[in-house]
Amino acid sequence: MRSFLLSLAAICFLAAPARAGDGPAVMPWGVPWDQGADDCAKRVHEPLEIRRYNAKTYVLRENLCATWEAPFMYLLIGSRKALLIDTGDVADRQKVALASVVAGLLTHNDISSLIVAHTHRHLDHRAGDPQFAHLRRVQLVGYDLDSVKRFYGFAHWPNGVARLDLGNRVVDVIPSPGHNETHVVFYDENTALLFSGDFLMPGRLLIDDPAADLASANRVAEFVRSRPVSAVLGGHVELDAAGDTFDWESTYHPHEHALALTKADVLALPAAVAKFNGFYGTTDRFLMIDATRNLLVAVIGVIVVFLALMTGVILVFGRWRRGRRHAGNAQKLNRP
């Protein structure tokens, strides 16, 4: 209940009238988010933070003390319907009242129809789906690949670009598999914002399929080359301001890197991915990791060490048995 009331209070503040024209009121992306804490029990942290880009565009983030994933979600409101990109890592509406907050923002904008979509199917981007599953006038897009293809009408995945018309607001959907086979990137023509999920963000770029990721990097770069990009907004922030990664599963992000990346980052990504060695790579802009291959190498290393230890034990045991046998034979020969 407390989370719900605080979220409604945030809505009342953020839903105040925007500047005349409702055009892109450039958000101060450098303004820090709640940095979380090493010990989240020491003070209250609002579980869902809300920032307004303009009267029709909202950035939401689950707090580090609600989930160490701290994913970002985005609400885009048109004249007929709205689009929510991702539903976060927390399913329990008592912990994070995502659906209630979104419903409040839609009511303020006199919109009742909502599309709930995902950048990709990883659980930290869709755990909140059940909060929307039984709501009226909500279309929940499936997160498996067949559902993604069918909803957007991709006949030749991953080629082509789909379009969502929200009413005086068109959102382009670009296939971008590589981090995950279902990944898509969203481009809002009204604000020139590119919503890149885990494909591109200030954090670890986990690459599941290097060849697919390179093709996607080229595809997205070519898409934005002739278009304006006011900011590139990803799914997480995992770096500090100096570009160093926070510890995995850390709930404390002091001096966090700004959320927004740039069009230049999108255009630089293909060259970086092309040089990726398939395991681990860094450039002045990106940290790339193939977690599956690294895990496989680690498992193989453990198996090799285990086999080496077992071989050593067998050899030592064999020598010990031979020594016992020789000693026994010597005793027999020395008997009178």
pLDDT tens-digit map of 308-320 = 676 656 766 667 6
What are the pLDDT digits (tens) for 216-228? 999 999 999 999 9
Query: Considering the entire predicted model, what is its pTM?
Result: 0.83
- Show the low-confidence residues of the chain (pLDDT under 50): 1-26, 294-299, 333
Q: Report yes or no: 79 and 168 within 8 Å, Cβ to Cβ.
A: yes
Going by the DSSP 8-state scheme, the letter that residue 80 receives in this structure is S
Q: Report yes or no: 131 and 82 within 8 Å, Cβ to Cβ.
A: no
Give pLDDT, residue 295: 47
Give pLDDT, residue 4: 45
List the beta bridge partners of residue 245: 239
Give pLDDT, residue 302: 52
Burial 69-104 (b: 16+ CB within 10 A, else e): bbbbbbbbbbeebbbbbbbbbbbeeeebbbbbbbbb
Q: How many alpha carbons lie under 13 Å from residue 205 in its C-beta half-sphere? A: 29
Give pLDDT, residue 18: 37
Helical spans, DSSP H, in 16-161: 98-108, 145-152
Give pLDDT, residue 52: 93
CA–CA separation, 125 vs 246, rounded Å?
20
Give pLDDT, residue 16: 40
Give pLDDT, residue 72: 98
Determine the length of the chain: 336
Give pLDDT, residue 258: 94
Q: If 0-12 CB within 10 Å is exposed, 13-18 middle and 19+ buried, where does residue 228 land?
A: exposed
Q: Which residues contact 145 (CB under 8 A, 6 or more apart)?
A: 157, 181, 182
CA–CA separation, 88 vs 72, rounded Å?
7
> Which secondary-structure segment (H or E) carries 269?
helix 263-274
